Chain A
Amino acid sequence: MSRLGFDIAHLLAGLLVLISFLQLYQDRLYALLNIFALHALVLALSVAWQAFIQDAPHLYVTAALALAFKAIIIPVVLHRIIVRLGIHREIEQVVGVGPVMLAGIGLVALSMVVMLRVTQQADPLAREDLAFALAVVLLGLLMMVTRRNAVSQVVGFMSLENGLVLAATGAKGMPLVVEISVAFSILIAFIVIGIFLFRIRERFDTVDLQALDRFRGERR
């Protein structure tokens, strides 16, 4: 049982990393949002599995939150937003797929090396979970820096948060306070972002951050 439990947890966490890679090279917003929904779905499964093997029923709440908010509500709302903004057909210039993928592989290797080395005394399940979680976090960061469009930056940020949830649930017995706060913070963050996107749309007819960046630095 414990062997199987470990393998499935391992599989789900590994899938998350893989889906993070898929996100990296999506250049259509629609496809990106679908992949993100998948990311959140796998996260929900992984958290639910952790709840089962750790015998920690409160984690089911976190899993349900991940499923409801991140896999369903947020992608649906974002779909609507990009249709309303009229950018759903746009193709986004991704900064060279090759270099980004290479950088991603480098980051995953880095997180494995760092986390596996420092957590030698921790139990193997938490250990590998943490290494995968760090990889997801770093890939989310990478996505945020390589994207120019506000919507895909937000998606990058949310997949980064998914990595954090994975880490928090992998740490056995971590108090509920944190999980709920993570869920809430995503919700709040989403509201904030939503408001922002609408205002940006209102004012400048674009959500392209390059347009925003024109005013960077000193006003002359």
Chain B
Amino acid sequence: MISHFPILQVIIPLLAAPLCLFLRIPRLVGLFAILASLTAFLISFALLNQVIETGTIEYWLGGWEPPWGIEYRIDLLNGYLLLLVTLMSTIVLIAAQTSIEKELPENRHAFFYVAYLLCLTGLLGILATADTFNLFVFLEISALSSYTLIGLGTDRRALTAAYQYLVMGTIGATFIIIGVGLMYMMTGTLNMFDLAERLPAVSNSRTILCAFGFFIVGVCLKLALFPLHLWLPNAYAWAPSVATAFLAATSTKVAVYVLIRYVFTVFGVSFVGVSLPLGHIFLVLGLAGIFAASVAAIYQLNIKRLFAYSSVAQIGYMILGLAMGTKLGLTATLLHLFNHALMKAAIFLAIGAVVYRIGSSQLYHFAGLGRKMPLTMAAIVVGGLSLVGVPLTVGFVSKWYLVVALLERGWWPVAILVLISSLLAVIYVWRIVEWIYFTPARIIMDDVQEAPLTQLIPIWILVLANIYFGIDTELTLGVSNLAAQSLFGQ
């Protein structure tokens, strides 16, 4: 049983998804989804423990030996992310129980959970697999289900947003499959680790360069690297709030994982760093993303869109960490992956709670909410402070490491730019604070109450996690460090 854990956690949500359709009773479906997600979480927890104790787990699907059969391989890097994704998914699902009541018509609830679980399946599959084609399949599963999730939003603009994402996502997926195809053509293998062994021999061929280019661009589209981020703000703004929280916390993170995996494991630092100027491209795009998206965030009127732009900016930080091509830089990226998931999940869930109560996510409707929903608003503020990088929050830890890594690399002007960019975050966060606490209400909200407990509890678990992991960094930093080490060890 335990030896099958790597595949089980992918299979469980996959099987649970269609079962949701049969259950029919809305309340039961929700609980069932939580159960599935929780099981996946417990499994991933056990897996990560096992990895830390005994090292990388290799699992051959159906007993077929790789590179012919499909291999699943859990190491520190993806073990860590599996834990993150299942944890976020479970917490978000708890809040989803009540949140979707207001945002979705009742006959769609089951569909929501189906799409959600399928999306989870896809993300977990991407993380666990060591097979390139298998990765593509899971990428499509998660992408298609997230189009559905976004399209479920009540506002009709959700449909165009989903469509936009569909077009962009499909282009990305096509690029990825072209890259995979070219790699297969040159090496005859699809297993990542097998690829890593065979690629150096052919690495100076133009085909491999093309493959790499296609693949990286495709993945960057998925992870919304500036300027390929255009699908993201709309998608996040119009999707049901819990879907936004889930996608923001997990899906871009998984795409960043794919990037890291291919850059460091499959192609190798020597190929990417030495023969290609990828570091510099990432540096420029990362910085441009940070600044452009932060500035855009300042001018948003819809608070979901605002934080969506902020997500694009935060992805810029992660890419910046990668651009350095150093161990410390990678550590900073991995830390920020985890930390950013915590912040954004907390913020989007809190926004979801507001939408649940007042039915709007327009910034000016937040006026005066500081009195009506103090706990929810406090959660947004703490999440915002964490985005800025105030000490004792997780944001501070990741920013600290990013700047230290930049100094170590000798890129001190970039370090200064990173610090300046935090000030942009101060501006967009503070705009919200002023609306919440220092502006009289614009709409009648006599009967507005604090969010229901089923939403407050998950929100505050995340908020407290934001603070806890800002003080006790043993788990996040330790694992990021070890994962970065092992990626550079090869």
Verify that A and B bind, or say they do not.
no
